Copies of this chain bind each other. A is one copy, B any other.
Amino acid sequence: MSEVLTFIESNLGRFRAELYAFLRIPSISAKAEFIEDTRRSAQWLADRMRDAGLEAEIIETPGHPVVLGEWRGAGEAAPTVLVYGHYDVQPPEPLEEWISPPFEPTERDGRIYARGSADDKGQLYMHVKALEGHLTANGSLPVNVVVLAEGEEETGSPNLVPFVDANIDRLACDVVLISDTSMFSEGLPSLGFSLRGLAYFEIHVSGAKSDLHSGEYGGAVANPGNALAHILATLHEPTGRVAIEGFYDDVIEWDTGTRAQIESLPHSDEQYRKDLGVDELVGEDGFSTLERLWIRPSCDVNGLLCGYTGEGAKTVLPNHAMAKVSFRLVPDQTDSKVRALLERHVNKVAPPGVTVQIKELHGGRPWKASVEGRYFEAATEALKEAFGTAPVLVGGGGSIPIVVEFEERLHAPVLLVGFSLPGCNLHAPNEWLPVENFERGIGALALLYQKLAS
């Protein structure tokens, strides 16, 4: 192992330069005008996998392609590890809030600022470099490896499950490794024990057949903007609970052990509040901040658009209003059930004089890990060795819908080994990854590959 780690150590400058090239490609999967850039990103990744010593293939899907890297020289007795990551990124808007351009990686205060640095190009590329370490220093890997990098994670992975099903033998594995989450705090390595799912909707409210003058018609015709506000306001109780009937029916009660483990983490509400720049934290009564984020569901407006939003005062009574609204789900909620409950709720509360249409944009299932077994122990040891302290168990407020699918389809446990940090501006302007975690993480992953074999 020491040759592997020495090789990695002495090549960190090159690794970072390569990552910057990866980050410069605006692979925004949600936007049609970036389709060629997204493909270029896949091509770039496949080339680097080959440079690292893997076989690599770009495999078409109905959407953005999958990049598959493979090395199967460890023999049948060695376990097979499936690494999953994604090379697509979120849209960078609002652009004016970026201190340095989203697709021009810039280092400030020990952080790499760029869209995708944390989510997920930076973390995905750490695996490629850890594998390169073994393959260059030793000429081989201690395990068989399949790296599956998709280009549609940020749009809900619409083609990934069909891809897994169509390639089920090729993807067969003993353990799945994913680095797309965060450490609990600086210097504190972490393993994931849960993820929230997602149910994302657009709510469209329509009124009169055209926009009207708010003076000529105001007071006698339903206003879709007012109606939408009314509908959205009914989604929460004053206690912070989601007010949709039946919404909590499938929410599991977490064991006291898990809640005690969460409670023991070094979290300060006061610091969290300050970091966010808010006067007060809010959320569901009866739960701590970490519980609200990890083991309780939520409901957020992601976007609103209605009427005139430009400069000045236009006295329009709009005939349409739209909200993007999403729910974070916890075991055992499903997006299809939430959709049905939401539709029933909205039908009940929608005011007269407007019509309401609900469109589901995407959904993903929540996940609860089994935190035991040889692979879990291997990860614990590798992280301890690389970071000098034992990893903590953390929940994930966000969604990686494919995790549940991998577990069920491949009958393999999933390890979430993430290296970004809280506050790293995922899906927001000024996303960043610590240089130290990028570098130390490559070593940790190299160790992990070793330990997974033993």
Contacts and interface: CB of A to CB of B under 8 A. Distances in A.
A208 B277 CA distance: 5
B91 A221 contact: no
Contact of A326 (B293, B315, B362): B315
Interface string A178-192: 000010000000000
* Copies of this polypeptide in the complex: 2
A168 interface: no
Given A196-B215, A215-B399, 13 more contacts: A90-B315, A91-B312, A93-B310, A214-B300, A219-B283, A219-B293, A220-B292, A223-B301, A226-B236, A302-B307, A303-B316, A304-B304, A304-B307
A272 to B, nearest CB: 8
Given A215-B398, A280-B353, A316-B428, A303 B292 contact: no
12 contacts: A30-B311, A30-B313, A30-B314, A31-B310, A200-B315, A215-B426, A220-B298, A229-B233, A302-B307, A302-B314, A303-B307, A313-B361
A412 to B, nearest CB: 24
A252 interface: no
Nearest to A427: B213
A313 B326 contact: yes
Contacts of A429: 210-211
A309 interface: yes
A312 B361 contact: yes
A303 B309 contact: yes
Contacts of A322: 309
A348 interface: no
Contact of A31 (B97, B209, B223, B311): B311
B232 A226 contact: yes
Contacts of A231: 229
A237 to B, nearest CB: 11
A373 interface: no
B221 A226 contact: no
Nearest to A352: B280
A282 interface: yes
Give the 8 A-B CB pairs with smallest separation, nearest first: A215-B398, A225-B301, A219-B298, A209-B277, A233-B233, A229-B232, A30-B312, A304-B306
A135 to B, nearest CB: 34
Interface in A241-287: 272, 276-284
A439 to B, nearest CB: 23
Best-surrounded residue of A182, A209, A312, A430 (most CB of chain B within 10 A): A312
A160 interface: no
A43 interface: no
A292 B352 CA distance: 16
A75 interface: no
A217 interface: yes
Contacts of A313: 30, 155-156, 200, 302, 324, 326, 361-362
Contact of A425 (B210, B309, B428): B210
Nearest to A295: B219
Contacts of A427: 211-214, 216, 314-316
Contacts of A200: 313, 315
A180 B147 CA distance: 70
Contact of A94 (B31, B211, B229, B293): B211
Best-surrounded residue of A210, A298, A324, A328 (most CB of chain B within 10 A): A324
A389 B268 CA distance: 78
A228 interface: yes
Contacts of A63: none
Contacts of A397: 213, 215-219
Best-surrounded residue of A222, A229, A426 (most CB of chain B within 10 A): A229
A320 B68 CA distance: 40
Interface string A77-96: 00000000000001101100
A317 B302 CA distance: 6
A318 interface: yes
A321 interface: yes
